[in-house]
Amino acid sequence: MNSLLEHYQNMLRIRRVEEAIAARYSEQQMRCPTHLSIGQEAAAVGVSASLTVKDKAYSSHRAHAHYLAKGGSLDALIAELYGKQTGCTGGRGGSMHLTDLSAGFVASTAIVGNSIPLAVGNALHQQVQKLDEISVTYFGEGATEEGAFYESANFAALRKLPVLFVCENNRYSVYSPLSVRQPESRSIVALANAIGLNAIEVDGNDVEQVAAATAELVKGIRNGDGPALIECHTYRHREHCGPNFDDDLGYRPEDEVAHWLARDPVTLLQQKLLDLGASAQQLEALDGKIGSEIANAFELAQVADFPNPDDNERFVYAE
């Protein structure tokens, strides 16, 4: 139950952070496109449980959960959304370009699929330099439609690179269902296996499944068996980009939405903990602690200075 409680804490923290962002987004002070992970926290937390701070993670536009689960600074995240000097890129990158090198979260990028090769390249460096670390690349099922995914996976398999591909299959790319993007017969794990990745799929809303599968895959990767892929079936609760619920638009079947909301990963885990004997007070205390941490992060972000545009010409080239 200890590790479960830890997972719960991590997931709840991400959830509360994202909810706080959503709650304040309409104040128009976080002025950048922001993709929330609400509903998808189990994948990030379950995967991170097998990673050390030395391991290097890359992600996509929807990166908050991965960043936080990997240990990225909450204060620097919130400040970044506010476009402040204290943000993780000093306001240059915004929500879609997060980094915390001290936590081994290298970067997220805003072009679908284009951070996947970067993670594979990181793994190439790790292999050639015989480093005791691995790389991880997070992406959505939409990104598997890009040639960049395919080319990267082929090379990772060819060189048996130490890299874990994490595909969060939330069934949608913006408003587009899988049916307009991938053939009905498609299995992402079967495809990944055919490319040469050691691939398995799990219920991505069950953090235990994610953690167990990842542990096994990562063991193989650290062992030198080559790259692997985990497909986490999951669902995003809110709109693709922005703070709101958008099921009034009708692009997702009602029963599908209902099915997945009923399988909210945080609620599921909370129930499990209660069943296992955790007390409601204990969990509430956790929530309270998280709440103050988040309030503090927003407080810091709001009072922080804006970056100075006089520095805009810095860092076009390495100095």
Partner 1 sequence: MQSNQTTTFAEQINQAQHQAMQDDPAMLAFGLGISDPKGIFGTTTGLAESFGHERVFDMPTAENGMTGIGIGAALAGSRVLMTHQRLDFFLLAMDQLVNNAAKWHYMFNGQMKVPLTIRLIIGRGWGQGPTHAQNLQSWFAHIPGLKVITPSKTDAVAAQLYSAIMDDSPVIFIEHRWLHQQQCETSQIKPLTLRPEPVRVHKTGADYTIVANSYMVLESLIAARKLAELGIDAEVLETAELEPACWQPVYQSVAKTGRLLVCDSAHTSFSVAAEIISSVTERCFGQLKQAPLRLGLPDYPEPTSIALTKHFYPSADSITKKVMMSLQRELPASIQDADEHHSTRPHDVPGEWFKGPF
Cβ atoms of 306 and 80 within 8 Å: the answer is no
Binding segment (CB under 6 A) for ligand TPP, from list 125-133, 141-149, 259-267, 309-317: 141-149
DSSP string covering 305-318:
PPPPGGGTTTTSS-
Taking the chain, what is the end-to-end CA distance rounded to the nearest angstrom?
A: 50
CB burial readout 113-142, b (16+ within 10 A) else e: bbbbbbbbbbbbebbeeeeebbbbbbbbbb
Binding mask 190-209 for its own copies (x = CB under 8 A): xx-xxxx-------------
The residues in 138-157 that bind Mg ion, with binding defined as CB under 5 A, are 140-142
With contacts defined by CB under 8 A, how many residues of the chain interact with partner 1? 80
DSSP string covering 241-269:
SSSS--GGG--S-HHHHHHHHTT-HHHHH
Neighbour tally for 275: CB within 10 Å: 8
Residue 94's binding partner among its own copies, partner 1, ligand TPP, none (Cβ under 5 to 8 angstroms by kind) is partner 1
Question: If DSSP codes are grouped into helix, strand and coil, which group holds residue 153?
Answer: helix
The residues in 9-68 that bind partner 1, with binding defined as CB under 8 A, are 28, 31-34, 56, 58
**120 binding partner 1? (CB under 8 A):** yes
Minimum gap (Å) between residue 204 Cβ and partner 1: 20
Minimum gap (Å) between residue 162 Cβ and partner 1: 12
Give the residues lining the site for ligand TPP (CB under 6 A): 61-62, 110-112, 139-143, 170, 172-174, 240
Chain residues that interact with its own copies, rule: CB under 8 A:
145-148, 150-151, 154, 157-158, 180-183, 185-187, 190-191, 193-196
